[in-house]
Amino acid sequence: MITEHFEIVEPTIRDLAWQGKGSIKYLVNGLKSWNDKAGIEIEVKRNTNGDGPAHWIFKIDNIGYSVNSDNMPEAMKNYGLALADAGAKVELLAAKSADMEAIFQEGEATRKAEWEAEQKRVQELKESEKPVGKKLAKKMIEHMKAEVKKMGRYDTQKIKVFERGTHKERDFKVEFSYAGLALFSEGYGRVSKNYVIERLADSNLQLLDVSGCPSIPDPRLANFLFSKAK
């Protein structure tokens, strides 16, 4: 809604209540922050803190320190009118707290049903996808250790694994320390060899990426080729 004093950017009450949070913005004529219009904001939030029952909070956030104006008296007049309107809107929203709670509970039921359906889909997909398996995983990790030991101190062997079902990507690498120990990492954090083996064993065989280990063949053939190695 646009008036001669301010503009209101306002979602519907259903939109505010569905997720349990949201905001209503008042862009005040004459107030600006850098090159944008500035103003106040009503924060709407369902509060579940403490031992008491959940309740709705409606908080008006004031203008920030970086706000300025080319005509401050006129801008302050508009600001006062916007603040009064925001106060009246808070009273209106508070009176509809019960309706908002009912909408939120409807949203919760929908979100739960969607989550359960997604979990079922992921589980069914996981069960349909062939894992790497622990036997092959152990052979691959030992092979990576052996290969990196032949290389320079700053060289690494890397693999990219994908969880079955979700296809979430994980990046693992192995390198040797000054003391000659094999160090495994996921991202920037150290992990144990057994951790890598477990994640690799349960990952999707078809999606496994061993391009960071040139001496390891196509994962779909690796089990056969490793079985031939002595």
pLDDT attached to residue 112: 97
**Are 174 and 157 within 8 A, CB to CB?**
yes
Does the residue 116 lie in any domain? Answer: no
Does the residue 124 lie in any domain? Answer: no
Percent of the chain with pLDDT over 70: 93
pLDDT tens for residues 180-209? Answer: 788 999 988 999 999 999 999 999 999 999
- The structure's pTM equals 0.73
pLDDT attached to residue 223: 57
pLDDT tens for residues 138-178? Answer: 988 988 888 888 876 668 889 999 999 999 999 999 988 77
pLDDT tens for residues 124-133? Answer: 999 999 999 9
Helix (H) or strand (E) holding 71: none
Does the residue 21 lie in any domain? Answer: yes
- Does the pLDDT at position 225 exceed 80? no
Does the residue 122 lie in any domain? Answer: no
Tokens 């693999």 belong to: 159
Identify whether residues 14 and 77 lie together within a single domain: yes
- Domain end among 102, 121, 155: 102
Closest C-alpha to 63, from 35, 36, 40, 33: 40
Identify whether residues 90 and 150 lie together within a single domain: no
Identify whether residues 69 and 146 lie together within a single domain: no
CA–CA separation, 113 and 115 (whole Å): 5
- Domain end among 102, 126, 154: 102
Note down the domain range covering 180.
134-228
pLDDT tens for residues 16-28? Answer: 999 999 999 999 9
- Domain end among 81, 102, 123: 102
Does the residue 1 lie in any domain? Answer: no
Rounded to an integer, the average pLDDT of 30-57 is 86
Where would I find the beta strands (DSSP E) of the chain? 6-9, 21-33, 36-47, 55-61, 67-68, 157-162, 169-176, 182-186, 189-191
- 36 beta partners: 33
